Structure 1
Amino acid sequence: MTFTQLEIFALVAELQGFTAAAMRLGISQSAVSHAIKSLEQELGAPLILRQQATAEVTEVGQRLLTRAREILGLAEAMRQEVAAARGLNQGLLRIGSFGPTASLKLMPAILAVFHKRYPGIEVQIDEGGDHDVLQWLLDRRVDVGFVVLPDERFDTVPLVEDQLVALLPAEHALAERRAISVNDLADVPYILGEAGCASLMQPVFAAHGISPKVRYRISQIMTILGMVGSGDGVTVMPELALPKDMERAYPQVALRPFRPAVRRRVGLALRDLRQASPAAKAFIDTAREVVKTLA
């Protein structure tokens, strides 16, 4: 069993294909197939089910995948430690990001400073919903992820705090108020989005004994804003996830705060801060510094 075999296996699993993995690594597809076959023969179990268009990880393969990513992560940390000792900044940093708060508001500002300080470090960013980032951290697919706090499963670093607001059609009766309560959303069509608040609003609704009448489940914020403006329902979003020019771009959408306020904290999470790579620790330090200027 070699690091190369584990790297190829992890990439085939992530990209769900031998051809895609070969293109990413710059090697032939036959070399990828040979590496997987040799690994399977050594372990005595099939790891990848070869489908016509995709590759699916077997149950045994899923168990090995987490271990493989752990080994590869430790190997990468070792390489970065040696590079740091030699005065070099090299390596790979994998970041999980969700929604506009992380991807549009925080990430560009943090990466701008990070790349100036550590130009030799390659950054790979995976974007998804709140739950995706959490799963990627558990699966060791990413080294550090933007998450909604608190989360006791990980070591976390708080970055910013904002409040959740209700977005209503401008002609809706609730839009006539300066602020609304969570209970006001009990009997209106609700658009459920994943922008850093889906998991947070669920316990808030439960605490008020509310089961929102979900009409749509949508992941893209621009689509949600368009549907709210068209009168298809109401939704809840964090302030930091919203466009800066909300009033001009979406005049048919009314934004109203909750009273009492419903707040959200966003931060970075790692499986184990003590074992984090130098690149991950440098990113955390940079993020802490940058968010102070954003505030």
Structure 2
Amino acid sequence: MSLLPTLRQLELLLSIAEAGSIASAGSKIGMTPSATSHALRSLESTLGTILVDRSASTVELTQAGERILPHVRDAFAALNLVKTTANANAGLQGGVLGVGSFGPSSSLNLLPPLLAAFGLRHPAIEVRVAEKSDSEIELDIIERRVEIGFVTLPKPQFDTLALAVDELVAVLPAQHFLASNETIELSDLTTLPLILTHAGSQELILRMFARAELQPHFAHEMTQLLSILEFVARGQGVSINASLALPTSYAGVVYRKIRPRTARQVGLACLNAKRLSPAASAFWQLARSSKR
């Protein structure tokens, strides 16, 4: 009977795929350089193929290595599912749940109440949130780094759960002449110095102007939401942001609806809602019951 790879060898391959060198990959999982080299040679011997291109300037997997990598991730995802299922039999008395969040729209308004409610129901489950861009969360779900993640919808490649509508709003200085209006015409914003966000809603904002065939005047481009709010409060321009990303209030700033209305859906995504771990399934069901 042919030998099978060991979990330690497969763990090394996962580490190599993410590391800058073979030695650092082994060190990351507690292996000495000699043990790392031996484990990699043994894995390649067992599988009968070269997995790592040692002639490349940086660590690169061969075509064979790239092709088996998703199956290795599946194997470890299955092991995690075994562990969390065992924990479920003890009433979800332990374990870790990884959740991806694409930015303030989910981290500021949607996540906190869900985390609080989940913590009350399952205090022994540790929830670890990773905040990244929408595209990075997609990749993390595909590569099993997290089981579920907050994303913008639609995402046809995943099982999804719509949770909220995130509308674009104008962010104005409190004393601005447009601040007395309940709704702002998009065309009125093209004559004002606009502070463009580098966050996830930037593409939606640009599409909004393109659909209306309007050309805005971008005075500043910023990554941090607090920087944008402070610039607006000090009269350095106006901005457009996703409503869920904004704090309830900010001194010197008001939010106003924009006509025509532009919005996106925000929700949860996973590879297969029917195969979630007990902890992830409990979080999913909690989110379903609290849809906004």
TM-score by length of 2: 0.77
**Cα RMSD over matched residues?**
3.4
Question: In the alignment, is the contact (CA less than 8 A) between 2:170 and 2:240 conserved in 1?
Answer: yes
Q: Distance in 1 between matches of 2:217 and 2:55?
A: 40
Q: After superposition, what is the alpha-carbon deviation per residue over 1:186-216, rounded to whole angstroms, capped at 9, x for unaligned?
A: 4554433255523433433332234555555
- Picking from 102, 110, 113, the partner of 1:109 is 113
Other-structure match for 1:151: 155
Give the AA of the match of 1:45.
L
Shift of 1:96: 0.8
- When residues 189 and 3 of structure 1 are mapped into structure 2, their CA distance, relative to the original with a 3 A threshold, is farther
Other-structure match for 2:256: 256
Shift of 1:225: 1.9
Other-structure match for 1:269: 269
- When residues 59 and 239 of structure 1 are mapped into structure 2, their CA distance, relative to the original with a 3 A threshold, is farther
Q: Secondary structure at the match of 2:114?
A: helix
Q: Distance in 1 between matches of 2:26 and 2:111?
A: 27
Q: Distance in 2 between matches of 1:48 and 1:192?
A: 44
Question: In the alignment, is the contact (CA less than 8 A) between 1:95 and 1:144 conserved in 2?
Answer: yes
- When residues 286 and 260 of structure 1 are mapped into structure 2, their CA distance, relative to the original with a 3 A threshold, is same
- Structure with the greater alpha carbon radius of gyration: 2
Q: Distance in 2 between matches of 1:214 and 1:223?
A: 15
Q: Secondary structure at the match of 1:258?
A: strand
- Picking from 52, 63, 67, the partner of 1:46 is 52
Any stretches of 5+ residues in structure 2 without a counterpart?
Answer: none
Q: Distance in 1 between matches of 2:221 and 2:94?
A: 41
Q: Distance in 2 between matches of 1:115 and 1:57?
A: 41
The structure that is helix-richer by fraction is 1
- How many matched pairs? 283
Taking every aligned residue pair, what percent have the same amino acid on both sides? 37
- When residues 154 and 119 of structure 1 are mapped into structure 2, their CA distance, relative to the original with a 3 A threshold, is same
Q: Distance in 2 between matches of 1:48 and 1:95?
A: 35
The more displaced of 236-245 and 166-175 is 166-175
Question: In the alignment, is the contact (CA less than 8 A) between 2:197 and 2:221 conserved in 1?
Answer: yes
Question: In the alignment, is the contact (CA less than 8 A) between 1:160 and 1:266 conserved in 2?
Answer: yes
Other-structure match for 2:227: 223
1:103-252 to structure 2, matched below 5 A, reads 103-169=107-173, 174-175=178-179, 177-186=181-190, 188-210=192-214, 212-214=216-218, 216-246=220-250, 248=251, 251=252
Any stretches of 5+ residues in structure 1 without a counterpart?
Answer: none
Give the AA of the match of 2:226.
M
Q: Distance in 2 between matches of 1:226 and 1:39?
A: 55
Shift of 1:270: 0.8
